[in-house]
Amino acid sequence: MYIPQVSHGRPRRAALAGVVTLALVLTGCATTGVLPSTTTTPTTSTSAATTPATASAIPSASPSATPQTVTLVANGDLLWHNTVWMSAQKEAKRTGKGIDGFDFDPMFAALKPIITGADVAICHEEVPFSAKGGPYKNYPVFAAPPEIATWIKSMGWDACTNASNHSVDAGVSGLIRTDTDLEQAGVDHVGTFRSAAERAVPVIYTTASGVKVGIVSGTYGLNGFVLPADQQWAVSFMTADNILAQAKAARQAGADIVVVDMHDGNEYQVQPTAEQVSLAKALTASDDVDLVIGEHVHVIQPITKVNGKWVVYGMGNLIAQQPTNLPRTYEGLTVRFTFTGTIGGRFSVSKAEYIGTNFTNGDPIRLYPVVSSLASGKGPTARLQTARSAIKASVNLLGNNDGLIES
């Protein structure tokens, strides 16, 4: 019997309960069709894969008598429009710093202490990376500079979910390249897979204090692209059965906390769809799921409790450069949840916070945590005040979030 040894920051991947046939999706991508198959896959983890059937035989660890607290931070979309990475190129010329001609640090400087201060930090890398040197591609079919992977690690993120409607904008080969770039940078990738074997092992991040956090992700579709018949394993899809199978595998492999990230909803719509609500109900009804967070719609959606568990339907954009007549797309959420419990036992959320963010248009781009920036007098005061009110209204739209703190 193989018992997975989950080390700090190493990826472990969950077996799934089948693959969903893709429907045509019209938003976000003008090109559709069957993706060319690729036969090149990298070497997967040297540890044996753990399927749900195998994992079910693994005895639960004896609970630790010492209570532990764990802070988890997650953010909205990293959506790399060309103006964003062009701004970072100009920044590198000004500062003489950065990674191979890109300096994103000044853009995100105000957020970095929040990311590095967490026990586990999760980003959402929405689009694939190009080969080194490009060509880089903008909307509707993206390919972002691969230097971003190294920068993500330097910011303090431990894992990135990257199951999205843009996961295969660069084909399955681009997906594999992106996952490899993240892995080589020391960042776990969640929701896309380089092989069937990799798909069979849960992603579990172990904090410095030994708490194991399982991370599960899925997307509603791929903008009309269809995975090759022999590579249906490449992307996780957002169906309750699929996600719950992954959550169960993570729990049985030793996860003390399981977080689900769902890439779903109608773009630019604050109100969650019936599908999002149904998924949240199904996921939070399971003892294997502790927290649900959401991506995709590019505006902030409500934070509420479903079945007594926190659900963040949509965190908006952490960074992007969408049309300026869509000002809500320049707002985002960073959520911070403190879990309390015992290793080998159960953890629950003891503190829930949201940090509203707003970023500027143009060059240079700057990201501002709204409340702290207003308090310190930094940033465009009028715009930040407007953003704060709008963010608060979206967050509280559904209510049932007593105890939620604006930070």
Question: How do residues 53-80 score in pLDDT, each as one tens digit?
Answer: 323 333 445 566 789 999 999 999 999 9
| Alpha-helical runs (H) found in 21-170 | 52-55, 82-95, 105-108, 112-116, 147-155
Instruction: Tell me the whole-structure pTM to 2 decimals.
Output: 0.87
What's CA 402's distance to the chain center, in Å? Answer: 25
The predicted structure's pLDDT at residue 94: 95
Does residue 144 sit in helix, strand or coil? strand
Mean pLDDT of 133-162: 98
Residue 260 host element (H or E): strand 257-263
What pairs with residue 331 in β-bridges?
A: 358
The predicted structure's pLDDT at residue 65: 72
The predicted structure's pLDDT at residue 37: 55
Question: How do residues 326-347 score in pLDDT, each as one tens digit?
Answer: 999 999 999 999 999 999 989 9
Residue 188 host element (H or E): strand 188-190
How distant, in Å, are the alpha carbons of 75, 167, 309 from that of 351?
Answer: 17, 33, 12
The predicted structure's pLDDT at residue 185: 98
Q: Does position 381 have pLDDT exceeding 50, yes or no?
A: yes
Q: Does position 174 have pLDDT exceeding 80, yes or no?
A: yes
Mean pLDDT of 364-372: 97
111 within 8 A of 373, measured Cβ to Cβ: no
The predicted structure's pLDDT at residue 362: 84
Mean pLDDT of 96-121: 97
Question: How do residues 224-271 score in pLDDT, each as one tens digit?
Answer: 999 999 999 999 999 999 999 999 999 999 999 999 999 999 999 999
Does residue 206 sit in helix, strand or coil? strand
Q: Which CATH number fits domain 47-198+207-250+260-406: 3.60.21, 3.30.200, 2.60.40, 3.40.50?
A: 3.60.21
250 within 8 A of 258, measured Cβ to Cβ: yes
